[in-house]
Chains A and B, each alone.
Chain A
Amino acid sequence: MTEFLGTELSGTEFSGANLANARTGALDRFAGAASALVVTPGDPATRFIFRGGKAAQAAMGDAFGIALPVQSCRAATGQSRAALWLGPDEWLLTGEDGQAETLFAALESALAGVPHSLVDISHRNISILLSGPKAAAALNTACPLDLALESFPVGMCTRTVFGKAEVLIWRTGDTLFHLETWRSFGPYIWGLLSLAQREYGAL
């Protein structure tokens, strides 16, 4: 037996100091987990769904403080607010928590007389934040979208399907993703992401 092992391990790559360097500690893969994929619940926020034609878009851009993105699947940000393209006449507007009522009233008065639809969905939606080099891979465990940087660049956002639940995926950085979903889908999506973390959490 020792002779057999001796022949197998006689090469330089498996001997002495090399072997010691190649060995990984029993807990190394858990210690590295924090940086490979971090999933955190997002903070509460003010959220509106806005729909309207060209006149309403321009008026909303002025009132909200951010010109609504016209290019498909793109987000515009500024002053802790964001406007996300959802469809050719549909946007998600987000802002800091606690200003839903005042902001809603201000936007409605600015758009008085212009045909549009503005709905407060602050409490319908929740957000989940993903970060780390394995964030895209974790999303791809339950979503077939191409999330490579070339085809899904920073600032791109889209509604899609994650497992069986509809989600909005917004890339806020090379390895940062912002997910928005209906609050009742939250535990389901969190469960799927937890499974992904078991696979991809370790570096």
Chain B
Amino acid sequence: MLLIACPYCGERPETEFRYAGEAHIARPHDPSALNDDEWVDFLYQRANPKGLHVERWRHIHGCARFFNAVRDTVSDRIFKTYEAGEPRPDVNAVAADVLAKESER
């Protein structure tokens, strides 16, 4: 079973969590000013990368808070979790940092 580090509660089993889609997608301030293509982009177009992905997760069966996570979609490894509202990190730097610290050990 995966352990996911909730920014509020610490490491918890994955069964307490729910996936909530790609992170850092801001709703347009004035939707009526958008044309149809731009609105479709906001509603439906997602990055879906093979590799590092920034995602929203919810600790639904714990503190019930949303937070963000940097996850590798190939290995399912979560490199970093942080509170919602914090700026999007440089995902490559985050992963490289974690791997470098591991190789030091």
Interface residues of A, Cβ cutoff 8 Å to B: 72-73, 86-88, 90, 144-145, 158-161, 166
Which B37-72 residues have a C-beta within 8 angstroms of A? Answer: 61-65
Given contacts A87-B63, A158-B62, A160-B61, contact A145 B13 (CB under 8 A): yes
Report Cα–Cα, A73/B64, bound state, in Å. 12
Tell me if A73 and B9 are in contact (CB < 8 A).
Answer: yes
**Chain A nearest Cβ from B18, distance in angstroms:** 12
Tell me if B9 and A90 are in contact (CB < 8 A).
Answer: no
**Chain B nearest Cβ from A195, distance in angstroms:** 19
Tell me if A159 and B1 are in contact (CB < 8 A).
Answer: no
Asked whether any CB of chain A lies closer than 8 Å to the CB of B12, the reply is yes
Tell me if A88 and B63 are in contact (CB < 8 A).
Answer: yes
**Chain B nearest Cβ from A132, distance in angstroms:** 24
Residues of A within 8 A of B92 (CB): none
Q: A72-B10, A86-B64 are in contact. List 11 more A-B contacts (CB 8 A).
A: A72-B63, A88-B63, A144-B1, A145-B13, A158-B9, A160-B12, A160-B13, A160-B61, A161-B16, A161-B61, A166-B61
Which B6-22 residues have a C-beta within 8 angstroms of A? Answer: 8-10, 12-13, 15-16
Report Cα–Cα, A159/B6, bound state, in Å. 13
Residues of A within 8 A of B61 (CB): 159-161, 166
Chain A residue with Cβ nearest B6? A72
Tell me if A159 and B15 are in contact (CB < 8 A).
Answer: no
Residues of A within 8 A of B9 (CB): 72-73, 158
Report Cα–Cα, A113/B1, bound state, in Å. 46
Residues of A within 8 A of B8 (CB): 72, 87-88
Identify A159's interface contact among B10, B13, B64, CB under 8 A: B64
A-B contact pairs, 24 of them (CB 8 A): A72-B9, A72-B10, A72-B63, A86-B64, A87-B8, A87-B63, A87-B64, A88-B63, A90-B63, A90-B64, A144-B1, A144-B13, A145-B12, A158-B62, A159-B16, A159-B62, A160-B12, A160-B16, A160-B61, A161-B13, A161-B15, A161-B16, A161-B61, A166-B61
Residues of B within 8 A of A145 (CB): 12-13
Residues of A within 8 A of B15 (CB): 144, 161
Residues of A within 8 A of B10 (CB): 72
Report Cα–Cα, A166/B60, bound state, in Å. 10
Report Cα–Cα, A161/B59, bound state, in Å. 11
Chain A residue with Cβ nearest B83? A88
Chain A residue with Cβ nearest B13? A144
**Chain A nearest Cβ from B61, distance in angstroms:** 5
Tell me if B12 and A87 are in contact (CB < 8 A).
Answer: no
The residue in B1, B63, B65 that gathers the most chain A C-beta atoms within 10 A of its C-beta is B63
Residues of B within 8 A of A87 (CB): 8, 63-65
7 shortest interchain CB distances as A-B pairs:
A87-B63, A144-B13, A161-B61, A166-B61, A161-B15, A72-B8, A87-B64
